[in-house]
Structure 1
Amino acid sequence: MILERNNGHFDAADNDDVVCFHDLLYGSLPSPTPQESRDMLDVTMSADGSEPSPLPRPGPAERLTALCDAAAARLTDPALRRRVGQIRDRLGAPLKIAVAGAVSSGKSTLVNALLGLPVAPVDAGECTRLVTQYEYGDDDGRVEAECEDGRVVVTRLLPGHRMPPDLGVPPERVRRLRVRLALDTLRAITVIDTPGMNTVTAENEQAARRMLFGTDGDDDRAQALIYVLRYVQRFDDATLAEFRSLTDACGMSCVNTLAVLTQIDRRGDEEDPWPTARRLAARAYEDLRTSVFDVVPVIGLLAETARTPALGPEELEALTALAGLDDDDLDFLLLDLDDIPGPPESPIPAELTRRLVARLHRYGLRVAVAAVREGEEALRRTLLEKSGFGSAASAGTVAAGLAHFARRAEQLKALTAITQLRRLALEDATGADRAALDVLAAELDETRPIAAGLSGLRIFAAVEAVGRGQLVLPGDMQAELFRMARTDDPAGQLGLPPGTPARDVAEAARAATERWRAQAMIDRGRVGGQRARDVLRVLEDLAVPAPPATAGPGADVHGISPVDVPVDVPGDAVGRLLASPLVPAADKEALRRLLSGGGPTALVGAGPAAAPADVAALAAALSGRFRSLGQLLTSVLDRRAAQSVCDAFALIAVHARHIAQGDSPHAGHH
């Protein structure tokens, strides 16, 4: 193994083409200390100075926070500094999730289910007339009406967390309501209830769109969206298509939009509405899959009733009385929900039955009557289960959609902040402010670490490109892409059953990389090619299985000798890549293994017990990763360095493959 090293370590400062992150941010401010330089490059030295060791890589939100601080320090215009400060503050705030949809689609009912409180008004008709933001606050029940003239009028919720009928100011003068609730859920998310998007009042539609899309003077927008629809119709598809076309302006796309199909229990006289509901949701997803990451069915009324104190002692007693009826009598009672009989046909007053129907409707009332015999706790548990609200672990549910948002909260907030900062960087400015905004724009370029750090959104970027017609795929690859977007499980992403061994997952991923590498070459130089490379990089990560368990130190049990592979990688080439902020941490770790020497198993991160075929597979996957990395690097010297490492791992793969096939490797093979 021949590796050139410089007194045991690499001095990143000697590489002229390495652009220091600090310099880009601070320009003419004092130069960083040596320690600061190393920190910015994500590399520091061990105690004896002999080997680089990784530091925790900051996430995109942390990098953006530092970028905002640096930009604010250089800007002289107070208005620009204020806007940068607002963007920075929102990076540390809870994720904002807006609930939108048509009038009477069940938005407010779903909001109440999300909050676990009956705070959003759900009367029939256009009841949500204002954008209402539910956020965490120790002063539980405080309501702030933000007026168009800048005033804030404070009132409180009524007992039982009900919205007061009088806000102290005419609704037409209110720009937004803020409701403070002492709910732990709201420490992580802020829920926004919006007016109907097809409302008869133009001002309401404008308010909803302002909350979702923002305006020139208001960037305090939602970062994720739950779009509620009763059934898929042209209006909903057109609205989601508009979201797709406005991605650059508002950040809404298939990565941060969940569609919820509500009121699925009112589609017919089926005793069990769920088989039909799941078919409808699957059909809706086929129509909307380039605009949303999933379509999930839910009975919002049951979810709200189960998660809020909607059923009091009187309602529970009434359910118990109805449970004493036989099935035929209960069917007769619920035959016409607009004309419900009272005694003697019913054991409870007609008005009380109407209240139960309002809380549960026909299907829910049947479920509740059957479950109430087992007690109140069993009743609520059954209602929640039958509502389809689900849990984070149950795929295809509202709860699973919220878990999707939670896993990507930092990236979604960063995505919104990048959109806002890019718009800010285009503002008219002169002198030092123009220079500061130019630096800001440069740091937000797709090739820089901040945007590149949103790697978790690569699959969704490719899906969006399909929707825009920028990435044209054959049917099997399109199905493969949408499958990858719908689950985080590697086996599921590759169409394999749950529990598939890691080695089989890696093998399927390697087969898929060939298809996506060819697609990237076909679309090379276009947006589609970049998106195909995004998918390729994800698959290359999946193609590297976990290293097999080691057999302890000692000889390579499969006969791959430490001196069999004369790999020649110049030390300065590896040093350049270790110093580059564009190289992911996992790839830097692979570089350090390459520096460590030893046999091929050690060079690729496998244990001594690894079979030669596994070593070959790992080496081939690493070779592909550095080939893809070379296409992303901006410096010619960095690209050459990545190619050298790519060739080194390819040579190891060839060597190990010959061993696996029973050949005796020699110079001719190399």
Structure 2
Amino acid sequence: MTASTIAGAADLVREALNAYREDPAAVAVLQGYARRLEEPLRIAVAGMVKAGKSTLLNAILGEEIAPTDTAECTRIVTWYRYGRTPRITLYPATGEPRSLPVKRVDGRLVFVLGDATADDVDRLEVEWPSPALQDMTLIDTPGIASLSTDVAARSTSFLAPEDTPSEADAIIYLMRHMHASDLRFLESFKDAEAGRSGTVNALAVLSRADEVGAGRIDSLLSAADIAERYRRDHNLQKLVLGVVPVAGLLAQGARTMRQPDFEALRLLAGMERAPREKLLLSADRFLRVAGPEGLTTAARASLLERYGLFGIRLAAVLIRNGFTDPTPLAHELARRSGLHPLLELLGRQFQARAEALKARTTLVGVEALMRTSPREGTGQLAAALERLQVNAHEFRELRLLATLRTTGTPLPPELAAQAEGLIGGRGAASHARLGLGSDAGPDQLASAARRCLDQWRAVAENPLTDRSALDLCRVVIRSCEGILAECGGMVAQSA
């Protein structure tokens, strides 16, 4: 369904390149849009200072390649792309790019900037052979609302520029609590990107979720309740597609667990419950109070840095309850960290509609170029742009999704909720649109799609339906027809 849209966007860029062929700056910008159509989806990780952005990025990749300390590198916009061999390239604010040494210390990637400071660097690009990066490019950004106004401005101008589309097609926004500054940034991202492209393309993560319950074993249950309350908040709902609680440090530790970690955790699990709980009352106590035998001070410090008290407590309980091998333990810790729902949401909301998001970013860029650098003889280009914006169904879905999330609709709430699902609000896959499980077969999907199609045709034909809702009905009907056509193809393939 997106092939024609991507082809249309590519054709539009070629037309624009011809129209602006005598403007080197415009040609460079347009060539950048052409490359974006061919690259994986760009997803930025953003949030306030110390929200856990780099830690979450490492957890998503399953490798410690993003620096999580407070060194110079955390003040630089850093791109993580797929590459067959590791490579780090520094792009200075002025001058030619240069390669940095690929250096690992204690299993972690270290950026050696040499004499350069963060102010001297435009961006870093890390190419890494991670399977996750084959489908998406992740962009780590400096903290929003940093004490350094220059650092904060760097993130804001990168993610929400005034006259051009964002460098990111979508965003994962981390917040420890929902503050007015979080809402202001998400609003600016939506205004810069979605306000013109007609979509909501952000996910919110309640980061450091284990801290919500002061590190108790049930902390993530408390965090899930808070995330659900945020999810229903009217101000946030119109800016993000979902809110997920994640214990980022635990997720990173679980995805990068080492044998020494497991051995140290097993020593702790072997303690009696009362002395173990007493030992884990605080980080300071864990580091300075003796016990158990064989657990060195260095090992304690490493566990605390990599898992936090919450992760250590949870791991000890799991080991005592049968997770006595490192691999099953790591998988269970990752599951309980909240990472899996985030990855699943990334797949449903971003990667499944990656082509439409990339094409939409390109159209926004071409439109901005024509507005800021008008040229004679571009009337045909403007007409082609308008046709693509109006006629491409994926864009109509994205615009309607934004409308449903912001201004609402005159339809009853239950119909509005069903419409949001059918146009991809719960995910772009057919089963997600229809509210069915991922194991639903082609016949079941086709039957459900047919029922929805008949229902929405009846809604559109009902004389009591508000006239202002008819456009919504047409988009939903077209989505149902698309699902039905896709299911028909699946049935034919299985025959």
TM-score, with structure 2 as normaliser = 0.84
Task: Give the AA of the match of 1:306.
Answer: A
Conserved 8 A contact 2:434-2:448: no
Correspondence for 2:306? 359
Name the residue aligned to 2:347.
402
Greater Cα offset, 58-67 or 490-499:
490-499
In the alignment, which residue of structure 1 is the partner of 2:403?
465
Partner residue of 2:458?
514
Secondary structure of 1:225's partner? Answer: strand
Report deviation, 1:102: 1.0
Is 1:275 aligned to residue 221 of structure 2?
yes
1:162 pairs with 2:109:
yes
Matched residue type, 1:182: P
CA distance in 1, matches of 2:103, 2:396: 46
Report the AA paired with residue 381 of structure 1: H
Task: Give the CA deviation at 1:319.
Answer: 1.6
Match of 1:374 among 324, 335, 356: 324
Query: Any idea what SS the aligned residue of 1:226 has?
Result: strand
User: Is the Cα contact below 8 Å between 1:248 and 1:419 reproduced in 2?
Assistant: no
CA contact (8 A) 2:102 2:110 kept: yes
Structure-2 separation of matches of 1:134 and 1:307: 18
Name the SS of the counterpart of 2:168 in structure 1.
coil
1:1-20 paired onto structure 2 within 5 Å: none
Question: Where in structure 1 are there 5+ consecutive unaligned residues?
Answer: 1-55, 391-395, 551-604, 606-670
Q: Provide the C-alpha distance between the structure 2 equivalents of 1:305 and 1:226, rounded to a whole number of angstroms.
A: 20
- Is the Cα–Cα contact under 8 Å of residues 319 and 369 in structure 1 kept in the other structure? yes
Aligned to 1:537: 478
Distance in 2 (CA, whole Å) between partners of 1:533 and 1:480 is: 14
Evaluate the alpha carbon distance shift between residue 219 and residue 449 of structure 1 in structure 2; reply closer, same or farther with a 3 A threshold: closer
Matched residues in 2 for 1:505 and 1:230: separation? 39
Separation in 2, partners of 1:545, 1:165: 50
Q: 2:263 aligns to what?
A: 317
The AA in structure 1 aligned to 2:383 is A
Matched with 1:212 is 159
1:493-523 deviation per Cα after TM superposition (whole angstroms, max 9, x unaligned): 4567885674355324422443356699734
Which ranges in structure 2 are unaligned for 5 or more consecutive residues? none
1:408 to 1:150, Cα distance in 2 relative to 1, 3 A: farther
Aligned to 1:60: 5
1:118 is matched with 64
Match of 2:426 in 1: 486
- Residue 74 of structure 2 aligns to a residue in which SS? coil
Matches within 5 A, 1:69-468: 69-79=14-24, 80-123=26-69, 128-144=74-90, 146-159=91-104, 160-214=107-161, 221-247=167-193, 251=197, 253-254=199-200, 256-268=201-213, 270-287=216-233, 288-308=236-256, 311-340=257-286, 342=288, 344-347=290-293, 348-372=295-319, 374-390=324-340, 396-430=341-375, 434-435=376-377, 437-445=378-386, 448-449=387-388, 452-453=391-392, 455-468=393-406
Task: Give 1:481 shift.
Answer: 3.6
Deviation at 1:332, TM superposition (A): 0.8
Residues 134-172 of structure 1: CA distance to partner in whole angstroms, max 9, x if unpaired? Answer: 11234413232x222243243223224522353431211
Deviation digits for residues 567-588 of structure 1 (CA, Å, limit 9, x no counterpart): xxxxxxxxxxxxxxxxxxxxxx
Deviation, structure 1 residue 427 = 4.0
| Offset of residue 440 of structure 1 | 1.6
**Which whole-Å CA distance do the structure 1 matches of 2:486 and 2:170 have between them?**
33
CA distance in 2, matches of 1:180, 1:496: 38
In structure 2, distance between residues paired with 1:497 and 1:115:
26
Q: 1:245 to 1:280 in 2, by over 3 A?
A: same
Please list the CA deviations of residues 172-197 of structure 1 after superposition, one character each: whole Å capped at 9, or x if unmatched: 12121112223333233211000111
Displacement of 1:208 after TM fit?
0.9
1:360-386 deviation per Cα after TM superposition (whole angstroms, max 9, x unaligned): 122311232244552221222122221
Query: How far apart are the structure 2 equivalents of 1:266 and 1:489?
Result: 34
Equivalent residue runs for 1:642-661 within 5 Å: none
Assess if the C-alpha contact under 8 Å between 2:209 and 2:247 holds in 1. Answer: yes
Higher helix share: 2
Q: Distance in 1 between matches of 2:2 and 2:169?
A: 24
| 1:452 CA displacement | 2.5
2: distance between equivalents of 1:271 and 1:58? 47
Distance 1:449 1:369, change over 3 A: same
Q: CA deviation at 1:78?
A: 3.1
Partner deviation per Cα, 1:595-654 (whole Å, 9 max, x = no partner): xxxxxxxxxx9xxxxxxxxxxxxxxxxxxxxxxxxxxxxxxxxxxxxxxxxxxxxxxxxx
Residues of 1 paired with 2:259 and 2:485: CA distance? Answer: 58
SS of 1:120's equivalent?
coil
Give the length in aligned residue pairs: 475
Deviates further, 529-538 or 107-116: 529-538
Counterpart code for 1:190: T
Query: Equivalents in 2 of 1:230, 1:470: separation in Å?
Result: 28
The residue type equivalent to 2:253 in the other structure is T
Distance in 1 separating the partners of 2:68 and 2:303? 15
Equivalent pair of 1:224/1:252 in contact (CA under 8 Å): no
Assess, with a 3 A threshold, how the Cα gap between structure 1 residues 153 and 194 changes in structure 2: closer, same or farther: same
Q: CA deviation at 1:84?
A: 2.1
How many angstroms apart in 2 are the aligned matches of 1:229 and 1:81? 38
Displacement of 1:406 after TM fit? Answer: 1.7
Change (3 A) 1:82 1:474: same
Deviation at 1:295, TM superposition (A): 1.4
**CA RMSD, aligned part only?**
3.3
In the alignment, the residues of structure 1 paired with residue 115 and residue 21 of structure 2 have an alpha-carbon distance, to the nearest angstrom, of 40
- 3-state secondary structure, aligned to 1:190: strand
**Aligned residue for 1:571?**
none
> What is the letter of the counterpart of residue 102 of structure 2?
L
Shift of 1:456: 3.5
Output the amino acid matched with 2:79: Q
* 2-structure distance, mates of 1:519, 1:291: 33
In 2, distance between residues paired with 1:120 and 1:252?
32
AA aligned to 2:347 is L
Compared CA separation, residues 141 and 170, structure 1 to 2 (3 A) = same
* Counterpart position of 1:39: none
- The equivalences for 1:551-570 within 5 A come to none
